[in-house]
Structure 1
Amino acid sequence: MTEDFTGWREAAERALYGPEGFFVREAPGAHFRTSVHASPLYAAAVAELLRRVDEALGRPAELALVDVGAGRGELLTGVLAALPDEVAGRLRPVAVERAARPAGLDARVAWRSRLPGGGLRGLLFANEWLDDVPCEVAETDASGVWRRVLVARDGTERLGGPVGGADARWLARWWPAAAGPGARPEPGLRAEVGRPRDAAWRRAVAVLERGLAVAVDYAHTAAARPPFGTLTGYRDGREVRPVPDGSCDLTAHVALDACAEPGAVLLPQRTALARLGVAGARPPLALARTDPAGYVRALARAGQAAELRDAGGLGAHTWLLQPRGVADPLAGPGPPGA
């Protein structure tokens, strides 16, 4: 039997979002741990960011919060619980997710399979969404020529034709190993061609008339692209071989500098969270004597904050902040230790 080979973008689109796709069937939180699932402090930080955006917008009668790649609505649920009543009363929360609306979700949350129309004022937040926007994978052949990587449903790969057109221009601009007229990169290098992520992010940002769009993901910049790519799979909390059969998540780190539009800011997650008041300092030991229960609660919060800010884990995420008609609400040096 001859295997059918396609580009990775087509294969991943089918495997993740087709009728029997991984994200259509599975709750992401059952397979991998994101900042949203790690601690309610993350939702509280997003609520604080939303409050700052609200102030920058002059506290409009309707304040939008669009969660792109909403999973099962966990982030929106946490943000609603953390907001002051006055702000929550004006909030119009929207979840964008291809899976069906989960049972029991707060009735205030609108559930959509596509981005809402434009003209919104507020915050658009995309936590670990762009890494699951499928893109082509390229590899250099024995002559150093970038070729499309073709893949079968069982994960078998082979090299296809040379990368051309807009994808070739993207590699030349954003993946330095491909740059340089007359120069050839060494054989065996891999790259994820992030052009679909750039386009997806532009569409997401465009729904805001004014406010702030934020993408949070494992990312890299042109100064430190991974030489062999980052494509991998996740299932049941473990990294697995990326096989496009719908059995696992298929993810690759994001070239967020390519996504960024003029005026955007890139920050490490640990810095962004510090500026939103998420600190990892342990409570003073004296509190254990005067308020033992309060000490235990404060110690638990400090542990959760430390996980969110850990440079070797979730703290390694990068935040892309794209203001639209407002000042950057995270501008400034932040507290010590940011």
Structure 2
Amino acid sequence: MKVGFIGLGNMGTPMAKNLADAGHELVVWNRTASKADPLKQQGARVAKTPAEAARDVEVVVSMLADDHAAEEAVLGKDGIVSALPKNAIHVSSSTISVALSERLTKAHTDAGQGYVSAPVFGRPEAAAGKQLWVVAAGPKAQVERVRPVLTALGRGLTELGERPSAANTVKLSGNFLIASMMEALSEAFALAEKCGVERAAFLDVFKSVFAKAPIFENYAGAIAKGQYSPAGFALRLGLKDVSLALEAGRAAEVPLPLASLLRDHFLTGVAQGRGDEDWSALGALAQERAGITKKG
């Protein structure tokens, strides 16, 4: 298929590479044009605007950092909506708000274009290894049309019905779950360490008794080692996602008290200059609250 790809950050670049490896013809755009160089070497054409990347394609995929970037790239001047052919489909893999997803659905529908929301679970290394899990929602016929693109991005796909924003709700709920898990891990490690137990020893117990899934074990390892850079997923993005989960909860009248606590802890990290560290730097904040001297 002829595919446009918007956003070549830590996640977007390996995702676009997987599409190229799967034989799709790519035209790519990124605000910092030099990030497109590796894909250019694979034969991708580099566009100067999101509109140019969306023009004359069957599918355009976007993977952008937040609502502001997504809104500008889709609805702004020279945005996707202005150029995507009628009946072509925008696949949004960005982690954005439910409200923006609903706005994008309407904008594409009004323009005679398709829209499928397909955020992904996984870090950059999972994207590079084609191990992402895709959650997709949108009109069934449109999801079927873009299935070759979705399956090229990861190891599996869950379909969530015909309302695109449902996929955003699931993504935000999942990221809230991960953030909650990291907060619990961080507090447990801080308690053990403050009581004289070495982090490495507690990690060994954790792996032997509690670890059932790689995601849990990986974050426990990062917290135990105090290894928060380079960031696979930045702490400031954790703040953004938990804030969006709270926004969705407020709209649906669902109290999320732990999410409120997590938001404040993420905000503390950003205020302390940790925004570009991995979001598992919650572990460092827990140590500081416990009066533990920073290690590692």
TM-score norm. by structure 2 comes to 0.29
Q: Which has the higher strand share?
A: 1
Greater RCO, CA 8 A, separation 6+ = 1
Bigger radius of gyration among the two: 1
Query: With structure 1 as the length reference, what TM-score do the two structures score?
Result: 0.26
